[in-house]
Amino acid sequence: MTTLLHNLGTPPYIAEWFQQLQVQPLAQAVDDPKAAAVFSADMVVGFCQRGNLASPRIGALTPLVVNLFRRAYAYGIRHFVLLQDTHHPQTPEFKAFPPHCVRGTEEANTITDLQALPFANVFTVIEKNSLHPALGTPFDRWLEEHPEVRTAIVAGNCTDLCVYQLAMHLRLRANALNLAAVRVIVPAEAVDTYDVPGEAVLSPGAKVHPGDFFHQVFLYHLALNGVEVVRALR
């Protein structure tokens, strides 16, 4: 099974789709910055820097997400919502993943690169105890209180986990409420997932996780559901 997973390649039609993604000017993607918001998933110490689930691949997202925040703010966007794992010590999620980002620990903190931005005072941080952004959180209330937001830009990690849940929730909520003007955009360079290759020495119960495969497949699936996936927003 390990050999099979190690040799698992991205389906050619998905790889071709991914390679053809285009860079889109931010001003073209967002016609009205006052009606746009940037949503980030789990840009916290426990995934980007230190902890059981931290990885260099996710850490490398830091400058890309920070630059996206800077460009968005310079363009006039003022809504920045940071969805962040802030787990109860006994959350059942720790049966699937090692303990991480426990409430009150350093791992649950927003990375300092985002905290240091001169406009960090406008950030809204929403703590979550699961992969989902809205279950047991005030996220839907925030969305209800900001009906002017028609363009949602999603960044962060992991593509196949919290980013996927966040982008899909935004898209499906808009569909369910007949909010025809709402667009959800995911710049591929500002999201990523972790990599556990087939040759890695795994602890008992651990699973192989080919990062490129899951990154591209889940972005493709977002596109299938009406999320706009672009190479980058510049």
Residue 173 lies in a domain: yes
Residue 3 lies in a domain: no
Mean pLDDT of 14-38: 98
Residue 15 lies in a domain: no
Of 174, 96, 168, the closest CA to residue 133 belongs to 168
How much is the pLDDT for 6?
Answer: 46
Q: 49, 59 in Cβ contact below 8 A?
A: yes
The first and second tokens of residue 64, run together, are: 């890309």
Q: For residue 54, what are the domain limits?
A: 36-233
Q: Which CATH number characterizes residue 225's domain?
A: 3.40.50.850
Residue 14 lies in a domain: no
Residue 110 lies in a domain: yes
Residue 20 lies in a domain: no
Residue 151 lies in a domain: yes
How many domains would you assign to the chain?
Answer: 1
Q: Locate the DSSP E strands across 118-224.
A: 123-128, 151-157, 183-187, 191-192
What is the spatial distance between Cα 56 and Cα 88, in angstroms, rounded to a whole number? 25
DSSP code of 190? Answer: G
Digit-coded pLDDT (tens) for 122-178: 999 999 999 999 999 999 999 999 999 999 999 999 999 999 999 999 999 999 999
Asked if residue 59 has pLDDT above 70, the reply is yes
**Cα three-residue angle 164-167-172, rounded to 5 degrees:** 110
What is the DSSP code string of 77-123?
Answer: --EEEEEEE-B-TT-GGGGTS---SBTTSGGGSBPHHHHTSTTGGGE
Mean pLDDT of 178-206: 89
| SS3 label, residue 195 | coil
| SS3 label, residue 36 | strand
The type of residue at 233 is L
The type of residue at 86 is T
Residue 225 lies in a domain: yes
pTM for this entry:
0.95
Q: How many CB atoms lie within 10 A of CB 218?
A: 22
Task: Provide the CA 90 distance to its chain's centre, in angstroms.
Answer: 24
Instruction: List, as own/partner pairs, every contact residues 11-14 make where C-beta atoms lie below 8 angstroms and the sequence separation is at least 24, other chains included.
Output: 11/217, 14/216, 14/217, 14/220
pLDDT band at 55 (very low <50, low <70, confident <90, very high): very high
Digit-coded pLDDT (tens) for 79-93: 999 999 999 999 999
Within a 13 Å sphere around the CA of 18, how many CA atoms are in the beta-carbon half?
A: 19
Q: What contacts 97, CB < 8 A, 6 or more positions away?
A: 52, 53
